[in-house]
Amino acid sequence: MKRILLSLISLFIASSLSAAPITVTDAVGRTVTLDKPAERIILTQARHMPVLALLHPDPISLLAGWSDEFKTSFANEYEHYEKVFPAINRIPVVGRHTPDSFSVEQSLALRPDLVVLTARFAGLLPDQDPNDSELIRRFTKAGVPVLIVDFFMDPLNNTVPSLKALGAAIGAEQQTQEFVSFYEDQMADIQARLADLQPDEFPPVFVHAHAGSTDCCNSPGTGTFNDMIRFAGGHNIGADVLKTPTGNINYEYINASNPSVYVATGTGAKRRSLAGGLAIGTGAEADAARQSLQDIIESNRLQHLKAIQTNNAHGIWHAFNDSPLHMIFIQALAGWIHPERMQGSSAQDTLDQVNERFLTVPLQGTYLIGLSPNQEP
């Protein structure tokens, strides 16, 4: 609590000194102006609340309204936040996490001073004029600034601009810059270690997305995860057959591709645990996570893959995606693909530093796991 108080005092002083309007540039290049740091934010997709938490010691205090997905899809994380910030259960819900469920009227009734959304949520195609979005036009007409962020569609390029814009909009430039510097250092280190990889040094990788909670087997195709796998020095087998961001690839194709690295993802949300998903994330125990990984491999008949046979099979928290914490996903993946190049680099250490330096509510649980107990993430 002392940490929260000191951080809030620092933010109060900083915002008091910035009486002038705040102008930022969002993820699609729009200029957005606020009269003062935002204090009543509508978060159209509540999955982005943990992004606010990286930049502000009390993100809940900033929210005038949000979608219901943090409580439903990230139930374990919600419970942890509720213990520190009981006010979380009083944030008005203005929709689910889809544009068709979102209510502009309910949002405006909450008197927001900023709306945070993604281009996709606004109904925009890549490179489309933001003024074409009816959602953005309605808020703009009502005099409410709209900030577009992106940690999913093109995260390798849009994460830093999104963070800087969001941090400035809430008057948290100092902590934001500290986190941005930390993020850039981690990404630069990975890039430097893998910079001279030759074309034949990108081994086949199978990322089994939401493993166990869907039929075999959900995989990333083109786009987000594919870019991350490539950054980590791997070749995504899903991209060879899927021309969409995600899709299903069948057992026969997986077996024929014979990936040398297997990575299952899951959120560990209670609603998924009943469907046999990966028991990973907040509150998860390592032994339970490891056993669920083994169960997923066996139930999907994947035990004969090279990756499994050579003990290069792992599980990771899916919610590192659509977040600046994708740096942890990439760092872990690079270590599993190129352990000799990533010696001395630890994704778990990076997560520990994020908890210590930036998060008032640390991520507590098991977020990275190997099939063998002696595999260090």
- Report how far residue 155's alpha carbon sits from residue 245's, in angstroms, rounded to the nearest whole number: 13
- Report how far residue 353's alpha carbon sits from residue 350's, in angstroms, rounded to the nearest whole number: 5
- Report how far residue 320's alpha carbon sits from residue 144's, in angstroms, rounded to the nearest whole number: 30
**Predicted pLDDT at 377:** 58
Alpha helices in 2-103 (DSSP H): 2-17, 49-55, 69-72, 75-84
- Report how far residue 278's alpha carbon sits from residue 291's, in angstroms, rounded to the nearest whole number: 9
- Report how far residue 31's alpha carbon sits from residue 148's, in angstroms, rounded to the nearest whole number: 10
Alpha helices in 142-269 (DSSP H): 155-169, 173-194, 224-231, 251-257
Domains delineated in the chain? 15-171 (3.40.50.1980), 202-370 (3.40.50.1980)
**Predicted pLDDT at 194:** 98
Torsion from C-alpha of 299, 304, 308, 310, nearest 10 degrees = 160
Closest-CA residue to 78 (of 356, 209, 268):
268
Q: Which helix (H) or strand (E) holds 25?
A: strand 22-25
With both helix axes pointing from N to C terminus, report the angle between 347-357 and 326-337 in degrees, rounded to the nearest 10: 160
Please give the C-alpha separations between residue 288 and each of 210, 262, 294, 376, in angstroms, as whole numbers. 17, 18, 10, 16
- Report how far residue 264's alpha carbon sits from residue 279's, in angstroms, rounded to the nearest whole number: 11
**Predicted pLDDT at 97:** 84
Identify the DSSP state of 74: T
- 60 burial (CB, 10 Å; 0-12 / 13-18 / 19+) is buried
**Predicted pLDDT at 274:** 42
Question: Phi and psi at residue 148, in whole multiples of 5°?
Answer: -95, 125
Copy the structure tokens of residue 372. Answer: 């063998």
**Predicted pLDDT at 5:** 53
Please give the C-alpha separations between residue 290 and each of 229, 295, 313, 348, in angstroms, as whole numbers. 22, 9, 10, 16
pTM to 2 decimal places: 0.92
SS3 346: coil
What is the Cα gyration radius of the chain? 21
Which residues, 6 or more positions from 53, have their beta carbon under 8 angstroms from its beta carbon?
59, 358, 359, 360, 361
**What's the average pLDDT block by block, 10 residues per block, for the chain (377 residues)?**
54 55 97 97 97 98 97 94 97 94 97 97 94 96 98 96 98 98 98 97 97 91 94 98 93 96 89 67 96 95 95 97 97 98 97 98 97 71
User: Quick check: 361 and 70 in contact, CB under 8 A?
Assistant: no
Copy the structure tokens of residue 242. Answer: 């899927």
